[in-house]
Amino acid sequence: MLKIGLTGGIGSGKTTVAKVFETLGIPVYYADAATKRLMQTNAGLKEAIRKNFGEASFKNDKLDTKYLADIVFNDTEKLSLLNALTHPVVIDDAMQWMLQQQAPYAIKEAALIFEAGIEQYLDYVIGVQAPLALRMERVIQRDKVSMREVQKRNAQQMDEAAKMKRCNFIITNDEESLVVPQVLAIHEKLLQL
């Protein structure tokens, strides 16, 4: 079974595109949701977070996401540290999940694939691209956050053009190009590989 990555910049529409693949019967692993789950359930990871970010990272054994977000989104080194702790656990969990899937291919949807060197575990990577202004607008609307906040998060990711250059397939989600036919074309290609 092929292991496929699905990535793109903040607000590009990765999750939206992943849902389209799901309608075709393709299993999708959502790295963001998995990370949140594993930070709550993986004993080794919880311990590492407590050790590196303080006891206040957990309130009544529940991850204090606001406390952690305030730290990592204001300090690049702290964000790298959190990623260094979570990535190996999520990579392992995703790989185990992939092995259990019964489908021609399975998708791992993740914002950071090239940034974290995850492409080495995948056969192909699909990129989702959209103009920066539209991506910003989507995230501001969806998360009710400020433009500044989105810019800050975007600055922590690889430049979109550089990311797309490294992808094997690209989907343009600019609300002008139709997404479903692009997904179907890639799906057909992947079934033949």
Positions that interact with ligand ATP (CB under 6 A): 8, 10-16, 32, 111, 138-139, 142, 173, 175, 179
Greatest alpha-carbon span in the chain: 51
Q: Which two tokens stand for residue 119?
A: 């492409």
Q: Which is nearer to ligand ATP, 119 or 137 (CB)?
A: 137
Q: Residue 43 CB, nearest distance to ligand ATP (Å)?
A: 27
Q: Which is nearer to ligand ATP, 58 or 114 (CB)?
A: 114
- Rounded Cα distance between 108 and 28, Å, is 6
Distance of CA 79 to the CA centre of its chain: 15
Q: Which two tokens stand for residue 10?
A: 């903040």
- Rounded Cα distance between 20 and 139, Å, is 20
Instruction: Give the gyration radius of the chain's Cα atoms.
Output: 17
Q: Residue 108 CB, nearest distance to ligand ATP (Å)?
A: 13
Q: Residue 31 CB, nearest distance to ligand ATP (Å)?
A: 9
Q: Which is nearer to ligand ATP, 32 or 115 (CB)?
A: 32
Q: Which is nearer to ligand ATP, 5 or 11 (CB)?
A: 11
Neighbours of 35 (CB within 10 A): 19
Q: Residue 71 CB, nearest distance to ligand ATP (Å)?
A: 19
9 within 8 A of 163, measured Cβ to Cβ: yes
Q: Residue 184 CB, nearest distance to ligand ATP (Å)?
A: 15
DSSP assignment letter at 166: T
Q: Which is nearer to ligand ATP, 15 or 40 (CB)?
A: 15
